[in-house]
Structure 1
Amino acid sequence: MVSETDLIHLKRCIALAEESLDAGDKPFGSVLVSAEGRVLQEDRNRTGGGDNTQHPEFALARWAANNMTPQARSAATVYTSGEHCAMCSAAHGWVGLGRIVYVASSAQHRGWLAEWGIQPGPVKAIPIQDVAPNVPVEGPVTELTDTIRAVHKRYFDKER
């Protein structure tokens, strides 16, 4: 179940996605929160320079591996504007991070791209649980999906 606190962190993810959009990157944002509820790290997509591996979820996994104990990682939550891709799901699983809460699913994102006549990316979208089956996952969060959909629409409208 998604709480009011979860919604606060997810709204910050959307704000980070908007920052990413303003910087010319694809609009994704993520926040890493400790078990005690403290924001430890946040990041946004940084793929505009051509390195399409610069996802915020991957950056948070690396940060966690270098700055948190295994126990703290497993008790932490990663909030994100969009469901992890396979690369980020794998990083999350390998590092041993805990719960993931996302606004929009990969399936929703694929549907939006099809609706807008945009070809999907070069990597198949796979649900997080298919890559990291022991990670607790919650999403999509329907009360925020229209908001992130609008941010993605602005990105692809700019790209045309």
Structure 2
Amino acid sequence: MAYEPTDAELVHLNRCVELAAEALDTGDEPFGSVLVSASGDVLFEDRNRTAGGDQTRHPEFEIARWAAANLSEEERAAATVFTSGEHCPMCAAAHGWVGLGRIVYAHSSAQLTQWRTELGVPPGPVAPLPVQQVAPNVPVDGPVPALESTMRELHARCAAR
């Protein structure tokens, strides 16, 4: 079901889109994520860094690692991860294991699967499960219709490489 973010949430989601574009411009797949505290402060941000061959270098996984090392259990549970694309199963598991709070994503795994199919990109090696099938207690909001065309275009540029 589509999600309409608040103005403050949209600022963070737009930063995720910027990070995704930066990832694409440096040879990575277009994904970017931002970790935000309960008070609205940006704590950590990252973009995809898989071009070097390590397919675990997703920004959501890096956020989970950073949060585990730098935040208390309570701070992690109260934080929100904003991300350009819904977490893959690896990242959803990491999110759940470290006890992070809510996820807000611009596009869903189902949308990405559809786009990749339309673009002739073969499926990846991991099933594109929704976050809640992997981490059922994590609150999730998304996709955000206002960002769909921008994210689809970034993925189309990636597929055309």
TM (norm. structure 1) is 0.97
Query: Per-residue deviation at 1:118?
Result: 1.0
Distance in 2 of aligned mates of 1:118 and 1:93: 29
Q: Which runs of 5+ in 2 are unaligned?
A: none
1:74 to 52, 72, 77: 77
Structure 1 match to 2:39:
36
Query: Per-residue deviation at 1:89?
Result: 0.2
Is 1:156 the counterpart of 2:146 in the alignment?
Answer: no
Q: Deviations over 1:122-150 (max 9, x none)?
A: 10000000110110000001111111111
1:136 to 114, 133, 139: 139
Question: Percent of aligned positions with the same letter in both sequences?
Answer: 62
TM (norm. structure 2) is 0.97
Structure 2 match to 1:110:
113
Distance in 1 of aligned mates of 2:119 and 2:26: 22
Aligned-CA RMSD value: 0.7
Query: Per-residue deviation at 1:2?
Result: 2.0
Structure 2 match to 1:23:
26
Distance in 1 of aligned mates of 2:119 and 2:64: 31
Q: Which runs of 5+ in 1 are unaligned?
A: none
Distance in 2 of aligned mates of 1:113 and 1:87: 19
Query: Per-residue deviation at 1:81?
Result: 0.3
Q: Deviations over 1:50-90 (max 9, x none)?
A: 11010000000000000000000000000000000000000
Q: Which runs of 4+ in 1 moved over 6 A?
A: none
Q: Which amino acid aligns with 1:26?
A: E
Q: Which amino acid aligns with 1:21?
A: L
